[in-house]
Amino acid sequence: MFVRSFFIFFVYLLLIANLQANEYSPAVGKNYPDKLLWGDTHLHTNESADAWSIGNPNLTPSDAFRFARGEEVTSESGVRAKLRVPLDFFMVSDHATYLGVFKRIKAGDEDLIKRPLGKRWKDYMDNEDPRLFTEFVEGLNGNQEVSFNKEIYIPIWKEITENVDRFNQPGVFTAFIGYEWTPAPTGDNLHRVVIFKDDAKKAQEIIPFSALDSDKPEDLWNFLENYNKNTGGEAISVSHNSNISGGRMFPLKNSYGEAIDRAYADMRNRWEPLVEATQVKGDSETHPAVSPDDPFADYETWEGNIGRNETDRLERLSNTGECANTENYKCYRYKESETDRYRGSYVRPALRRGLEIQKKIGVNPFKFGVIGSTDNHTALAASAEDNFFGKFVDSEPGPGRMSNCMAGCDRPDGDGQGDLWRNWLISASGYAAVWARENTREEIFDAMKRKETYATTGPRMAVRFFGGWNFSKEDSYKPNFVEIGYTEGVPMGSDLGPRERGKSPGFLVMVSKDPNGANIERVQVIKGWIDSYGRSKEKIYDIAISDDAGENTVDVENATYSNSIGEAYISTFWEDPDFNPNQSAFYYVRVLEIPTPRWTTYDSAVFGIDIPSYVPKTHQERAYTSSIWYNP
Amino acid sequence: MRKKIVVIVGLIIGLSIIALSTIQSTSDINEDVIIVNNKNLEIFYFNNLDPENPYNQDFSILSDKQINQLKKEFIQREVLVREAKRLGLDKIDSIISARLAQLGQQALVGEIIEFEDIELSEINDFFETNKSQYIESETISFSHIFFDTEESAKSYLLKLQKESDVEKLKRLINIGGIVFPYQKNYSKKPFSFVVGHFGEIGATNLFSLQKDIKNWQGPIRSSLGYHLVNVFNRTPMKQMALEDILPAVKRDYYDQLRKKDSKNIISNKILEYEIIDETKVN
């Protein structure tokens, strides 16, 4: 009897073991992120004090959500606007400093107006007193004299968050709750957007942390940690406009002037997994000063900090030719002595700096992924070159926007004395791409945390990027490419697994053009590594390049181009030919489209205006993936 | 007598006010005189600041050098503005008049209706009138196999058609083609979604296919390549029921009321003007 029972039990065990080796259900274990979702996590509406003040008193977060999900909305300047293809996820990130306050004071909110500051601001508004702006600016600078008791934000935040929940449709359209933390100590941009995984009920357990609470990123991350501890909810921060941070976005020292240590690195990695690498105020991938061998580095570059007196830091490259025109920003550069600022201001040098710090302290503090977003203040998440609604209302479509200035600046001497930006400079960029399992808050948020994301300057090109030790050329042709990528390697945003003896890392890359856009000219892998002296290096490899690369089909007069050049689809394998197993490294993919008209060229054709000589006529839009890291 | 004195005094005061304001307005419209004072300079300074820039200085602490620079810019601006006005350019610039109209609208539009006060019967009436806005789009559900050339798609279709063994056919479907960047299976997707993955031409071609569970159709062209398609469902456009979308309809109704409110205020303001219509159009 005992022997018989033992035998049956033994057979049963064998069956179970066999089933586990070969699952009965073929779908088991194949729950890979197979949905490419497009979104914008950075947009302002009339709840932001600056958007409200500079021409957008009417368009609300609801208008922004409607536009993002594909509905037609009439812009503040009266132009009808609609996205060609709706977004899959979206977040309004109005400024936490004075969130919703201007709008409500103007509308006569009794609770605000009964307070001394509210009353004063109401008087300013009624009398068009310019001190309203001064005090708003002081608030952004953290001046506690110009602040309300935080309780005023409770009903405002409640209204804003509940409205977001109304637009959230799991599986169809994801609406995130969020806001922007906007400090800029001494004019250096340290701005971050905060994205919540949670619904309104949970998010209402806090009041947004603003620049009036602190201008130190460490304090923001502490706030996010406490939110997590106290409520069980979760939120992350995403930095943006590192390009105008004066080198402070990716610093060597913390906010207290101490060298970065493990605690700082761990905290930053935990709460800030992403960087917004491209947006309306320029591109932050890299700069020619720190990537001199990269012929594509100078893309939508912004010099200096907005509105700052930079005369002591900038130099004019020439006074002749195109540079005779003092408005040509391309003719100014930081002085050689300022190069170090770029290293703390751009994504690629920051990834390199992260490896250098890792060598010293054992942890990489800049191990982030990338996304793109718009940062438009028009409630319209539009970033296509031929469907671009600008940064503020004064750069909405119209014949004047190419020659006018943000908020009416008028200092044509170009000496940097308080110059605001010329509107031709703004960039029709960008969007966030996320590889997720489902279109829900939880799935997209998790994808952001694991950095399975990438940035584009607007076009929706699809990019897959896997790294591993056992991939082959044949894998890149196989229909189960994605399954191979996940089972034999790791996706973008990850660390390569343990090295197999004698092998170099191999990468599977698949790229397809924006289904409604331009073909692809080339696919590149950008590698950064650290040499035995602890110095970081970078190199760019063209891993797939169209036969007609370098050609340009753009007809500037009519603002058209032809997909007769370039490729619609590229799937390939690349192995690092210069791999040194003792050197830590990162790899990311950059995709370049064929040349297409810039938004200013479309404007020229639509409105019949001339393009100034210093404004680029064509450009090559692009995508940047999150990195894959190798650690010896 | 007392009454007469009051009337006379009143008349004198009234005439004085008119005379004073005439003198004042005359000096205002003297386009050859530019008055530079602290008030004008301060307004000019703040109107030209970037409010996002926390590095701005308060007007009161500007140095003499900065004030002198500001004066130069102010005077230059004033001269140019007046010259432009003299030439009548402000009347013909559509952006200036559109912006002024926008500012006027913001200044005029006041109180709005409370969201909570909206009655269900009102929403019902609004829904009945605007039913056509609440339609569920036509959708398509399908699987597809992606190829980079039309020839490879055609030859694979022949392979699928020849295979009669169900298990082998399943395998062929799974291993066919090359990897498509988006999904292999799509369930109940509208045109606006499909166009984001297949482009305009691909979405149009897909929506031209009929439901046919048993057979693979195509190849059809998309902007990325060629596709064999198995369409397993199509749903037509459908009218949505109010109870399913009540909050959204209420919000739309509220928005419409808000717009109407704003329109009424503007219409009433128009009535306060005397319009002299010199066109011959009725």
Identify the structural domains of chain A with CATH numbers, from first to last.
Answer: 49-98+148-436 (no CATH), 461-630 (2.60.40)
- Rounded to whole angstroms, how far apart are CA atoms B183 and A30? 14
Pairwise CB contact (< 8 Å): B178 & A479:
yes
Given an 8 Å threshold on Cβ–Cβ distance, is B175 in contact with A418? no
What are the pLDDT digits (tens) for A32-63? 999 999 999 999 999 999 899 888 888 999 99
Q: Any chain A CB within 8 A of the CB of B261?
A: no
Residue A15 has pLDDT above 70, yes or no: no
Minimum-distance CB partner of B192 among A85, A137, A420: A85
Most trustworthy range by pLDDT among A76-85, A193-202, A291-300, A328-337: A193-202
Q: Which residue of B has its CA nearest to A163?
A: B251
B172 touches chain A (CB under 8 A): no
Decide if B50 touches A, using CB distance below 8 A.
Answer: yes
Amino acid at position A429, single letter: S
8 A C-beta contact, residue A571 and residue B225 = no
Looking at every residue in chain A, the average pLDDT score rounds to: 90
SS3 A491: strand
* pLDDT < 70: residue spans in chain B: 1-30, 50-56, 94-95, 98-99, 102-103, 105-114, 281-282
When CB atoms are compared, the residue of A76, A133, A166 closest to B49 is A133
Q: What is the pLDDT of residues A206-235, one digit of tens each?
A: 999 999 999 999 999 999 999 999 999 999
Structure tokens of A473? 């050329």
Contact A228, A267 (CB under 8 A): no
pLDDT digits 0-9 by tens, A597-625: 999 999 999 999 999 888 999 999 999 99
User: Quick one: average pLDDT of A166-186?
Assistant: 94
Around Cβ A460, how many Cβ atoms within 10 Å? Answer: 22
Give start and end residues of each alpha helix (H) in A254-391: 262-271, 339-343, 347-361
Stretch A273-281: mean pLDDT: 97
B223–chain A Cβ distance below 8 A for any pair:
yes
For residues A240-269, average pLDDT: 95
Q: In this complex, do B54 and A477 lie within 8 Å of one another by their Cβ atoms?
A: no
Q: Is B247 on the interface with A (CB under 8 A)?
A: yes
Report how far residue A479's alpha carbon sits from residue B174's, in angstroms, rounded to the nearest whole number: 8
In B, minimum Cα distance to A37 occurs at: B182
Query: For chain B, what is the largest distance between any 2 Cα atoms, rounded to a whole number of angstroms?
Result: 119
Query: For A468-516, what is each residue's pLDDT tens digit?
Result: 999 999 999 888 899 999 999 999 999 998 998 899 999 999 999 999 9
Q: Do B179 and A516 touch (CB under 8 A)?
A: no
Chain-chain contact of B148 with A569 (C-beta, under 8 angstroms): yes
Q: Looking at the predicted structure, is the pLDDT value of residue A325 above 80?
A: no
Q: Which of A258-262, A406-410, A435-439, A562-566 has the lowest mean pLDDT?
A: A406-410
Instruction: Identify the closest residue of chain A to B74 by CA–CA distance.
Output: A410
Q: Name chain A contacts of B251, Cβ cutoff 8 Å.
A: 62, 166
Q: Which residues of B touch A130 (CB under 8 A)?
A: 42-43, 45-47
Output the pLDDT for position A241.
Answer: 95
Contacts of B98 in chain A (CB under 8 A): 77-78
**Cα(B277)–Cα(A556) distance, integer angstroms:** 44
B49, B52, B79, B188, best to mutate vs chain A, most A CBs in 10 Å: B52
Asked if B54 lies within 8 A of A76 by C-beta distance, the reply is no
B197 in contact with chain A, both atoms CB, cutoff 8 A? yes
Paired strand residues for A624: A455, A590
The C-alpha atoms of residue A486 and residue A464 are separated, in whole angstroms, by: 11
CB contact under 8 A, B102 and A462: no
Phi, psi of B206 (to 5 degrees): -65, -45
How high is the pLDDT of residue A331? 74
Tell me which chain B residue has its CA closest to the CA of residue A413.
B73
List chain B residues with CB under 8 Å of A58: 106
CA distance A531 to chain B (A): 36
Residue B198 contacts A where some CB pair is shorter than 8 Å: yes
pLDDT, residue A24, reads: 59
- Contact of B202 with chain A, judged by CB distance below 8 Å, is answered with yes
Selecting from A76, A417, A462 the residue whose C-beta is nearest the C-beta of B182 gives A462
Q: Which of B55, B178, B181 sits opposite A307 (nearest CB)?
A: B55
Q: Which residues of A touch B42 (CB under 8 A)?
A: 130
Contacting residues for B28 by C-beta, under 8 A, at least 6 apart: none
Interface contact A515-B106, CB threshold 8 A? no
Dihedral angle, C-alpha B6, B11, B13, B14, nearest 10 °? 140
Cα distance from A414 to chain B (closest Cα, Å)? Answer: 13
Predicted ipTM? 0.78
Distance from CA of B79 to the nearest CA of A (A): 14
Are the beta carbons of B195 and A515 separated by less than 8 Å? yes
Most B CBs within 10 Å, among A512, A572, A603, to test the B interface: A512
| CA A154/CA A149 separation, integer angstroms | 10
Handedness of CA B241, B247, B252, B257 (dihedral sign): positive
Relative to beta strand A585-593, strand A282-283 is: unpaired
Bond into A430 cis (ω within 30)? yes
Examine the pLDDT at A19 and tell me if it is beyond 50.
no
Task: Give the chain B residue nearest A511 (alpha carbons).
Answer: B181
Q: Who among B54, B95, B225 is closest to A184 (CB)?
A: B54
Local confidence band at A185 (pLDDT 50, 70, 90 cut-offs): confident
Residue A73, phi-psi category: left (phi > 0), alpha (psi -120 to 50), beta (remainder)? beta
d(CA B19, CA B23): 6
What is residue A313's predicted lDDT score, i.e. its pLDDT?
65
Confirm or reject contact between B200 and chain A (CB < 8 A): yes
Question: Residue B194: its chain A contacts at CB < 8 A?
Answer: none
CA A434 from centroid of its chain's CA atoms: 12
> Which residue in B39, B43, B55 has the most chain A C-beta atoms within 10 A of its own C-beta, making it the best mutation to test that interface?
B55
Q: Which of A137, A173, A375, A426 to mutate to test the interface with B (most CBs of B within 10 A)?
A: A137
Asked whether the beta carbons of residue B51 and residue A133 sit closer than 8 angstroms, the reply is: yes
% of chain A residues with pLDDT over 90: 73
CB within 8 Å: A307 and B52: yes
B176 lies within 8 A of chain A by CB: yes
Q: How far is A590 from chain B (nearest CA, A)?
A: 17
Dihedral of CA atoms A9, A13, A14, A19 in degrees, nearest 10, equals: 140
Task: Pick A512's closest partner by Cβ from B53, B177, B224.
Answer: B224
Q: Using CB atoms, which residue from B56, B69, B202 is nearest to A515?
A: B202
Q: With contact defined as beta carbons under 8 Å apart, do A94 and A160 qualify? A: yes
Which residues of chain A make contact with B43, given a CB cutoff of 8 A?
130
The secondary structure of residue B209, as a DSSP letter, is P
Q: How far is CA A157 from the centre of its chain?
A: 24
Scan residues 69-98 of B and list those with Cβ closer than 8 Å to A. Answer: 69, 73, 77, 95, 98
- Spatial distance between the Cα atoms of A35 and B184, rounded to a whole number of angstroms: 10
pLDDT for B257 equals 83
Chain B residues within an 8 Å CB radius of A186: 55
A364 pLDDT tier (thresholds 50, 70, 90): very high
pLDDT tens digits for range A415-459: 444 446 788 889 999 999 999 999 999 999 999 999 999 999 999
Q: Which residue would you say has higher pLDDT here, A9 or A82?
A: A82
Q: Does B53 touch chain A (CB under 8 A)?
A: yes
